[in-house]
Structure 1
Amino acid sequence: MTNKIEFPKNFWWGSATSGPQSEGRFNKTHNSVFDHWYDIDPDVFFNKVGPDVASNFYNSYKEDLEILQEIGLNSFRTSIQWTRLIKDLETGEPDEDAIRFYNGVIDECIKNKMIPVMNLHHFDLPVELFDKYGGWESKHVVDLFVKFAETAFKLFGDRVKYWATFNEPMVIVEGEYLYKFHYPLLQDGKKAVQVLYNVNLASAKVIKAYKDGGYNKDGGQIGIILNLTPSYPRSQDADDVKASEFADDFFNNSFLDTAVKGEFTKNLVSTFEKDNVIWESTDEELQIIKKNTIDFLGVNYYQPRRVKAKEIAFDGSNGWMPDKYFDNYDMPGKRMNPYRGWEIYPECMYDIAMNIKNNYGNIQWYISENGMGVEGEERYINKDGVIEDDYRIDFFKEHLEFLHKGIQEGSNCFGYHSWTPIDCWSWMNAYKNRYGFVAVNLENQKKTIKKSGRWIKEVSENNGF
């Protein structure tokens, strides 16, 4: 007899996408940093596929959301694009077509009995704010982001009860300012640390605006979506453990501690001070961060981080880097997703659940992304034209089993969202790896439910498997 794994009552079974990855660039008022990057260097993107059409959600959202209801999803996260909603970036004045579009998306979600979860930043900074002010390096841009958020709250806060300030803010720091995988491809540790601070400040200021505006009075909540990649040391040797603690502090706790506890970890601050890369801050700003913490946490989990003590001398010729304090560890025998080059380690779900329970006041949280990107899924099409993605179903089951174990041991998790409902455009990778419950044909935008889409419907209806 097999055990039934059952989840708490009213558990969210859903999926997440973002505006820039699903909508296409139709009728947008401004270019984002990614729109601009594609315009100046299309060769960087897989098969030269850019954000122009994406999965056509701008034109087909009604049909798309009906498909999501058909596969049993009870919640759905996307993002409101700053570059779409706001006509005048300095005043926060909105664009009429964007208001129509986002009202339509929200109303259609509700009509299809799905809870809409709206995120405010998914790597889509307006490029003119980068050109003019240096983007997230600027505290003026922080305040413009707050104006954008306030516009969104005013327009949609009556129906949207779950908001997120940022998705994966650490990726802004890593991709744009350290490891050169997002435009503007800078490597500047001091700027990276200032951006890390400014984005934390932006999140806290938006939370303050939300609560000061009374948008939480009918049960509205605001949180943040963090990609947590727990750092596992190579061994229990003191140097390896110390390296893993720094990696955790930098890549995870630099947003997690501020979001939940309202302050940066002391070790991180003292390291930045010692290395002379500490951010510019004011006491008033630190008080805003302190007093405006999240109501709930979203966790994107894909892979762990494996680290060891430094073995290669740190090369400081390019300035400060977090790699000064650890080396990545290539653990022998680890399970891999060969398409994405990521380790598959479902046990981490349990570790994350316990960390939140034991070290973060057992705040309410949910898995906001988890998924498996696979290249060449057309190999698995059966005679009925359906992609038999059993590998994805197995991946989800394993991760959900460890998540369930954490919930049974008291971790306050209220939902699970996959990445992504419908195959979506994914930055430089474009459509190389597919993640969806629903396949999209890029030639004609035809959408077909995969085997995993039928599976998640059963899971949602049974609240388990």
Structure 2
Amino acid sequence: MPTFKKDFLWGGAISAVQAEGAWDQDGRGPVLMDMRSQGSVNEQRKLTYKLKDGTPVKVPYFAGKLPDLPEGAYFSPVEDEIYPSHVGNDFYHRYKEDIALCAEMGFKMFRMSISWPRIFPNGIEESPNQKGLDFYRDVFLELKKYGIEPLVTLEHFDDPLYLITELGGWLNRELVDHFVRYAETVMREYKGLVKYWLTFNEINNSLAILDMIAEASDEVYQESYQKLHHQLLASAIVVEKARTISEDYQIGCMICGLASYPLTCDPKDMITMMKKDQKDLFYCGDVQIRGEYPEFAHRLWAEHNVAIKMEEGDLEQLKRGKVDFCSFSYYCSSCTTDKDVEMDGKGNFSMGAKNPYLEYSAWSWSMDPDGLRYLLNLLYGRYHVPLMVVENGLGAHDTLESDGSIHDDYRIEYLQKHIAAMKEAIHDGVELIAYTPWGCIDLASSSTGEMSKRYGLVYVDRQDDGTGNFDRYKKDSFYWYQKVIESNGENLGG
């Protein structure tokens, strides 16, 4: 039976805004995440700003529409709040140590992102920040030293703040040009050091989030679809330009893998699931992989009186900018229904009813390896391009023992079952070429901002209260994953 190919790309994943820290060092500009304080499973993260007279204000914020700031107010950190992105896991200063640990595990691929404002602090500059360019060159050279292939995301929730506050964010078509200039700059700069690129991280989240906004207005839908059109257009332009820079470049999309089941066998629940998949999963995938808006897009637009403003040539550009492969995140599944039930099954940018057949984590995310096999088959059957699972993992509380060990058998079990599910999908005929589980080195959670929601195979001594010296410790899962990679996925024993 088919199994993982000899050149399968085993590795792990982090993002700049959650790992690097050094948020105001060496010319990096701020991002919105730098103004989001730490939350918890029971307390939503806050977005902070100051009034004209310096009075601090804190408002709950997850994603979606930004609050309207009073005249003279400005986004800013405030005292007595912890901001996870300001320090991350200190990757900016410890990347050599971290890459050496990845090499010790046997990584073939390391997924990371370039922080846009580290290259163009405000996003509008004509010339890049040299210190930012130098930092990532050093990182890529360090990876090359160990024979690890970087997989680089161009935008991972860290647009320069200036573009949001002064230009209105992606609702402004001008951002297309700014993004393309940034992408072209780094693609030329790192030619020969990077082969695999992703344009936008979980680009479909802007639509999935709409399901989480109570009674979202047609105006909110209009803005979301318009912003997304500009991002899809920017992605297509970058893909086309990348091929003129290097014939070796492979460019992929990255979508949030939302596996959905109907809650009951009521046909209406099945239709609800179908419509959710169309909006939250296939809408972006179809544009980026097939090169055109799907037929059901017109129904989605009409349901909320959406009229996307396009310019002549946009649709042709989408056709020219089709990606080479599809990457996606997968953590959990959810259940859909048209019935009035409690939506207590949370997930990665999704809400749904709990599945009585599944177990749930402390953060109410389901643990469902079969959902990964299902999603791999679903995406490959629709698109027939190589697939990468570039985020997957279990956020859990870990205990650092007095001898420096961390016994995370629960994480090993989670990863075991999901790798086994990937193997079954390969048996099904799916072309899967890479696996980079999320947060291979503990980092700040995007959803809650906690360090205690740990995903890593490497423990980082940083606590939710801001204490810790950032020392690294190998978890039991570190040694287990080392054997998985060494055996090319054949040895999954604990």
Name the CA distance, whole Å, in 2 between partners of 1:354 and 1:274: 29
Letter of the 1:29 partner, please give it: R
Pairs aligned (count)? 436
Write the mapping of 1:403-418 to structure 2, written as runs, cut at 5 A. 403-418=422-437
Cα deviation for residue 15 of structure 1 reads 0.3
Displacement of 1:283: 4.4
What code does the residue aligned with 2:15 have?
S
| Corresponding residue number in structure 1 for 2:470 | 445
Alignment of 1:91-102 (within 5 A): 91-102=125-136
Q: Secondary structure at the match of 2:235?
A: helix
Q: Which amino acid aligns with 1:264?
A: Y
TM-score normalized with structure 2 length: 0.83
- Read off the aligned partner of 1:22 and give its amino acid letter: A
How far is the alpha carbon of 1:35 from its aligned partner?
A: 1.4
Q: Give the match's secondary structure for 1:157.
A: coil
Offset, 1:371:
0.2
Task: State the Cα distance separating 1:172 from its structure 2 match.
Answer: 4.2
**More deviation, 54-63/271-280:** 271-280
Identity %: 28
Counterpart of 1:170? 204
Q: Aligned partners of 1:296 and 1:18: how far apart in 2? A: 20
1:198 to partner: Cα distance: 1.9
What's 2:150 paired with? 116
Q: Is the 8 A contact 1:36 1:127 kept in 2?
A: no
Structure-to-structure mapping, 1:389-428, within 5 angstroms: 389-427=408-446, 428=448
Contact 2:221 2:304 in 1 (8 A): no
CA contact (8 A) 1:88 1:94 kept: no
Local SS of the residue matching 2:435: strand
The answer to whether 1:14 aligns with 2:38 is: no
Per the TM alignment, residue 383 of structure 1 is displaced from its structure 2 partner at its CA by: 5.4
Distance (whole Å) between structure 1 residues aligned to residue 487 and residue 409 of structure 2: 19
For 1:151, the equivalent position in structure 2 comes to 185
The residue type paired with residue 432 of structure 1 is S
The counterpart of 2:452, out of the listed 421, 428, 432, is 432
RMSD of equivalent CA atoms: 2.5
Partners of 1:32 and 1:124 within 8 A in 2:
yes
CA 1:105/1:70 → structure 2, altered by over 3 Å: closer, same or farther?
Answer: same
Deviation at residue 179 of structure 1 after TM alignment:
4.0
Q: CA deviation at 1:382?
A: 4.4
Aligned residue number for residue 317 of structure 1: none
1:348: how far off?
1.2
CA distance in 2, matches of 1:132, 1:178: 28
Q: CA offset at residue 105 of structure 1? A: 0.4
Change beyond 3 A, Cα 1:435–1:223? same
Contact 2:334-2:355 at 8 Å conserved across structures: no
Distance (Å, rounded) in 1 between the aligned partners of 2:386 and 2:268? 34
| Gap runs ≥5 in structure 2 | 38-47, 50-56, 62-79, 342-349, 463-467
Q: Could you give the per-residue CA deviations for residues 335-377 of structure 1, whole angstroms, max 9, x where no partner exists? A: 111x2211111101211221133211x20111101000002x1
Which sits farther off after the overlay, 342-351 or 85-94? 85-94
The structural deviation recorded for 1:277 is 1.6
CA deviation after TM superposition for structure 1 residue 255, in Å: 1.2
Q: Is the 8 A contact 2:122 2:162 kept in 1?
A: no
CA distance in 2, matches of 1:420, 1:459: 17
Q: Could you tell me which residue of structure 2 aligns to residue 32 of structure 1?
A: 31
What code does the residue aligned with 1:332 have? P
Which whole-Å CA distance do the structure 2 matches of 1:274 and 1:369 have between them? 32
Contact 1:179 1:187 in 2 (8 A): no
Partner of 2:245: 214
The 1:179/1:238 distance shift into structure 2, 3 A limit, reads closer
Q: Is the 8 A contact 1:161 1:221 kept in 2?
A: yes
Query: Does residue 188 of structure 1 match 2:211?
Result: no
414-423 or 264-273, which moves further after superposition?
Answer: 264-273
In structure 2, give the amino acid aligned to 1:108: E
Give the Cα separation in 2 of the matches to 1:173 and 1:152: 28
The separation in 2 between residues aligned to 1:241 and 1:178, in whole angstroms, is 17
Name the residue aligned to 2:376: 353
Letter in 2 for 1:125: D
Q: 1:366 aligns to what?
A: 388
Alpha-carbon distance change, 333 to 358 in structure 1, aligned in 2, over 3 angstroms: closer
Q: Which amino acid aligns with 1:340?
A: W
1:178, distance to aligned residue in structure 2 (A): 6.7
Judge conservation of contact 1:389–1:450 (CA < 8 Å) in 2.
yes
Q: Distance in 1 between matches of 2:173 and 2:211?
A: 20
Q: Distance in 2 between matches of 1:290 and 1:271?
A: 21
Q: Is the 8 A contact 2:197 2:252 kept in 1?
A: yes
Bigger helix fraction: 1
Aligned residue in 2 for 1:341: 364
Distance 2:325 2:357 in 1: 36
After superposing the two structures, state which structure 1 stretch, 128-137 or 265-274, moved more. Answer: 265-274
Once the 2 structures are TM-superposed, how far is the Cα of residue 196 of structure 1 from its aligned partner?
Answer: 2.2
Q: Indicate the residue corresponding to 2:76 in structure 1.
A: none
Aligned to 2:200, the other structure's residue is in SS state: strand
Measured in 1, the distance between the counterparts of 2:486 and 2:183 equals 35
- Counterpart of 1:440, as a letter, is V
**Residue 44 (structure 1) shift:** 6.0
Change (3 A) 1:52 1:88: closer
Question: Which AA in structure 2 matches 1:403?
Answer: M
Matched, 1:288 2:314: no
- 2:159 aligned partner: 125
Gaps of 5+ in 1: 313-325
Deviation at 1:71, TM superposition (A): 1.7
In 2, the alpha carbon distance for the partners of 1:83 and 1:29 equals 5
User: Against the structure 1 CA distance between its residues 383 and 90, is the aligned structure 2 distance closer, same or farther, given a 3 Å change threshold?
Assistant: closer
Which residue is 1:330 aligned to? Answer: 354
Q: How far off is 1:236 after superposition?
A: 3.6
User: Is 2:230 the counterpart of 1:198?
Assistant: yes
**Per-residue deviation, residues 322-346 of structure 1 (Å, max 9, x unmatched):** xxxx994333343111x22111111
Residue 257 of structure 1: aligned partner = 286
Asked whether the equivalents of residues 82 and 148 of structure 1 are also in contact (C-alpha less than 8 Å), the reply is yes
| 2:95 counterpart SS class | helix
Cα distance in 2, alignment partners of residues 201 and 285 from structure 1:
7
Q: TM-score, normalised by structure 1?
A: 0.88
Shift of 1:189: 2.0
Q: Per the alignment, do residues 42 and 415 of structure 1 end up closer, same or farther by CA in structure 2, a change over 3 Å counting?
A: farther
For the residues of structure 2 that align with 1:79 and 1:327, how far apart are their CA atoms? 27
Partner Cα separation in structure 2 for residue 260 and residue 34 of structure 1: 29
Greater mean alpha carbon deviation, residues 8-17 or residues 422-431:
422-431
Contact 1:49/1:430 (<8 A) preserved: no
CA distance in 1, matches of 2:382, 2:431: 13
Q: In the aligned structure 2, how far is the partner of 1:292 from the partner of 1:120?
A: 16
Residue 102 (structure 1) shift: 0.4
Alpha-carbon separation, structure 1, partners of 2:450 and 2:295:
39
| Residues 84 and 449 in structure 2, CA contact (< 8 A), matched pair in contact too | no
SS of aligned partner of 1:429: coil
